[in-house]
Amino acid sequence: MKQRLFLYRVNVGRTNLVIIQRIQDAVYIFPHPAMTESAVGYQTPPRTQSALHLFIFCREFPQNRSLQIHFHICNYTPVFTVSQDFLLTKYDSFDKFVEYNYYMLIFKKWRRNKTASRPFPWDWLAIIEENVPLYQKLSDADRKELQRHILIFLSEKRFEGCGGLEITDEIKLTITAQACILLLHRQTDYYPGLHSILVYPNAYVANRIEHLAAGVVAEGPEVRLGESWHRGSVVLSWDDVQSSAADAASTHNVVFHEFAHQIDTTFGEGDDTPILQRSSAYRTWSRILQKEYQRFCDDVEDNRYTVLDSYGATNPAEFFAVATEFFFQQPQLLRQHYPDLYNELKVFYQFSAL
């Protein structure tokens, strides 16, 4: 695997014409003095860099001819994963790819700032206060931040009604407010793999395919309250969204559950949470999560009482989603029964509902 660091200078002329010029191209053996530690095994540029300098960190994976490209400009650090064939087909050169996406990144940031600066409609606020009890527990600063996230989320994601359901402001805001609570207190790219939210009026039937031992594949209908696809969509039952959001004493919340999957499957892409940005923190997070998951699975297998839903024993991804539900819905109980897990989720989400 090759690792390269590129440095570009951004020149802005009198007519606002932007010229991006490569000024450094080298293969480094890390750590390099210009870089600081991160979680995923490479070094990232310090965040005090001028907006007139653009760092590009590139990892090349020969086995599938793909590139993982990290942009670093000021406090903005988006990540792209592209195939080499696609890059060479669509762009004349790597520099052209950088130039195009620089424009797109700056435009996206400008567009989001403009969207977030709009006044928050009072009737939207009334819906959120009525349908999302957790909103009442937030500080004034958190409420303002959440409102900005909601404005941006709604401007970028598409809602679609399924099974005859007509999408209303109440549906969009009830779902969006809870999805955006997971994004508080951090730089975020707003679930970058997500494009649409599909909403059914109630529980729906989907086809389930399960791979069993000896190559046996079981297939059949399954009733679902929600699901999260790795790329593209989240599917939700509106009836269950309403019931889980309205009941502050419930340990279940279908929106928190499915959007936790979105965070998990994108591995925090576009996110600056410390656990995903520092290797030492990530190692601690992985160790504690694995330990708590194994303890939970042992309890479920031995029919011992556990406050968490036994569905979390399905796999580590479901455990993370179930623990996220509990962290926001019943933080006191989670801290009492799983103190280490609670503390790690508190750091991960940079949030406390207590």
Residue 239 shares a structural domain with residue 318: no
Residue 136 shares a structural domain with residue 92: no
Q: Which of 54-58, 72-76, 147-151 has the highest mean pLDDT?
A: 147-151
pLDDT at 98: 76
pLDDT digit string (tens) for 119-154?
999 999 999 999 999 999 999 999 999 999 999 999
**How many domains does the chain contain in total?**
3
Greater confidence (315 vs 286) lies with: 315
Position 208 in a domain: yes
**Cis omega (within 30 of 0) for bond into 46:** no
CATH of residue 351's domain is: 3.40.390.10
Position 266 in a domain: no
Residue 111 shares a structural domain with residue 124: no
Cα(351)–Cα(354) distance, integer angstroms: 9
pLDDT at 52: 54
Which whole number is the average pLDDT over 42-66? 57
Residue 329 shares a structural domain with residue 291: yes
Please state, rounded to an integer, the average pLDDT across all residues of the chain: 77
Residue 161 shares a structural domain with residue 289: no
pLDDT confidence tier of residue 184, bands split at 50, 70 and 90: very high
Position 57 in a domain: yes
Residue 53 shares a structural domain with residue 41: yes
pLDDT confidence tier of residue 1, bands split at 50, 70 and 90: low
Choice among 72-81, 112-121, 151-160, 225-234 with the minimum mean pLDDT: 72-81
Position 261 in a domain: no
Burial class (CB in 10 A: 0-12, 13-18, 19+), 123: exposed
Position 262 in a domain: no
pLDDT at residue 111 is higher than 50: yes
Q: Give the residue among 7, 73, 6 at the shortest CA–CA distance from 46.
A: 73
Query: Which of the listed residues 116, 138, 162 is the one where a domain comes to its end?
Result: 116
pLDDT at residue 257 is higher than 50: yes
pLDDT at 348: 86
Q: What is the pTM of this model?
A: 0.71
Query: Which of the listed residues 92, 116, 140 is the one where a domain comes to its end?
Result: 116
pLDDT confidence tier of residue 51, bands split at 50, 70 and 90: very low
Residue 203 shares a structural domain with residue 324: no
Residue 252 shares a structural domain with residue 135: yes
Position 286 in a domain: yes
Residue 146 shares a structural domain with residue 100: no
Quote the domain boundaries for residue 295.
273-354
CA distances from 140 to 125, 187, 331 (A): 13, 19, 21
Q: What percent of the chain has pLDDT over 90?
A: 32
| DSSP code at position 76 | B
Residue 248 shares a structural domain with residue 129: yes
pLDDT confidence tier of residue 274, bands split at 50, 70 and 90: very low
Q: What distance lies between CA 271 and its chain's CA centroid?
A: 7
Q: What percent of the chain has pLDDT over 70?
A: 68
pLDDT at 30: 38
Residue 150 shares a structural domain with residue 106: no
pLDDT confidence tier of residue 37, bands split at 50, 70 and 90: very low
Position 160 in a domain: yes
CATH of residue 239's domain is: 1.10.472.150
pLDDT at 24: 54
pLDDT at 254: 94
Query: Which of the listed residues 101, 116, 131 is the one where a domain comes to its end?
Result: 116
Greater confidence (335 vs 228) lies with: 335
Sign of CA dihedral 193, 75, 118, 108: negative
Position 267 in a domain: no
> 212-238 burial, b for 16+ CB within 10 Å, e for fewer?
eeeeeeeeeeeebbbbbbeeebbbbbb
Cα(71)–Cα(102) distance, integer angstroms: 9
pLDDT at 149: 97
Q: Give bridge partners of residue 339 from the DSSP assignment.
A: none
Please give, one letter per residue, the 3-state secondary structure of 49-74.
CCCCEEEEEEEEECCCCEEEEEEEEC
Residue 136 shares a structural domain with residue 29: no
